[in-house]
């Protein structure tokens, strides 16, 4: 993962947008949609490079995940409180064009392997199609993104080499880098996601509306 405090905007390369997120964070999915809308509304900004950085919301979950209901009970104090919180998520998702199906999620996963897969895809190209498929698989299709077979299938759906993805996951490569990346994020004061850094100069925490992101981009360009 490239350092997020590198002044990329001063170089001749593309304008960078660094996104710190977790694939099981619904607001990260909403934030991704808002970012896409913001970038689509830019005029004459030139090429933009979106880079994804890992943030594990539940790093201590077992590899096989945990029962979703038990997780919600522990996090929110019961399903009724969780439902109230998630109704806000559903409404924000509808406005962003995301049909959240939160009831389809049976298990809360550990996301270390998913982040490793994103890092692998990003090392050789654009990870955005994979990130999109991971979000959709979890939040719309209710698939268990903590399972390596599921992750390999998602990689294939994103147009990546499934055999290479399997080899990467099974080798355990990239796990240490995930921990290091998260430590760097905390050094920068990032304690929640989504978190956006525009042009390595202007930061926004949370799934802000597209116009707020466009304003942040304009500020970074100045």
pLDDT in tens, 75-102: 888 878 888 889 999 999 999 999 999 9
In this prediction, residues 134-138 reach a mean pLDDT of 98
More confident residue, 43 or 4: 43
Confidence at residue 35, expressed as pLDDT on a 0 to 100 scale: 98
**CA 114 to CA 126: how far, in whole Å?**
15
Contact present, 142 and 105 (Cβ < 8 Å): yes
Residues 28-42, mean pLDDT to the nearest whole number: 95
* The pLDDT of residue 1: 40
pLDDT for 43: 72
pLDDT computed for residue 156 by the predictor:
98
Task: Give residues with Cβ within 8 angstroms of 21, minimum separation 6.
Answer: 28, 31, 32, 52, 53, 54, 55, 193, 194, 195
Contact 57, 185 (CB under 8 A): no
- Compute and round to an integer the Cα radius of gyration of the chain: 17
Q: How far apart, in whole angstroms, are the C-alpha atoms of residue 29 and residue 96? A: 9
Domain boundaries of the chain, sorted by first residue: 8-221
Is 3 a residue whose pLDDT tops 60? no
For the chain, percent of residues with pLDDT exceeding 90: 81
The average confidence (pLDDT) of the chain is 92
User: Does residue 129 surpass a pLDDT of 90?
Assistant: yes
147 exposure class (CB count in 10 Å sphere: 0-12, 13-18, 19+): middle
Q: Does domain 8-221 have CATH number 3.40.30.10?
A: yes
pTM confidence score: 0.92
DSSP string, 38-93: HHHT-SS---EEEEEEE--S-TTS-TT-EEHHHHHHHHHSSHHHHHHHHHHHHHHH
**pLDDT tens-digit map of 59-76:** 999 999 999 989 988 888
**Rounded to whole angstroms, how far apart are CA atoms 8 and 48?**
11
Distance between CA atoms of residues 6 and 218, nearest Å:
19
- Distances in Å between the Cα of 10 and the Cα atoms of 14, 88, 222 are 10, 39, 11
């Amino acid at each position: 993962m490239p350092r997020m405090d590198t002044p990329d905007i001063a170089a001749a390369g593309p304008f960078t947008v660094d996104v710190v997120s977790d694939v099981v964070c619904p607001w990260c999915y909403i934030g991704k949609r808002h970012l896409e809308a913001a970038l689509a509304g830019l005029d004459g900004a030139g090429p933009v490079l979106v880079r994804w950085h890992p943030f594990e919301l539940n790093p201590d979950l077992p590899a096989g995940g945990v029962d979703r209901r038990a997780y919600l009970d522990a996090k929110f104090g019961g399903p009724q409180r969780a439902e109230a919180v998630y109704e806000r998520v559903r409404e924000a998702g509808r406005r962003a064009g995301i049909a959240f199906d939160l009831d389809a999620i049976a298990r809360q996963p550990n996301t270390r392997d998913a982040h490793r897969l994103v890092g692998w895809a990003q090392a050789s190209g654009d990870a955005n199609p994979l990130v999109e498929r991971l979000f959709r698989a979890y939040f719309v299709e209710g698939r268990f993104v903590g399972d390596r077979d599921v992750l390999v299938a998602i990689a294939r759906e994103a147009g990546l080499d499934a055999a290479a993805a399997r080899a990467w996951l099974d080798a355990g490569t990239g796990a240490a880098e995930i921990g290091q990346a998260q430590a760097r994020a905390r050094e920068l004061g990032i304690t929640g996601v989504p978190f956006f850094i525009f042009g390595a100069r202007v930061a926004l925490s949370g799934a802000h509306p597209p116009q707020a992101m466009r304003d942040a981009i304009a500020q970074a360009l100045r």
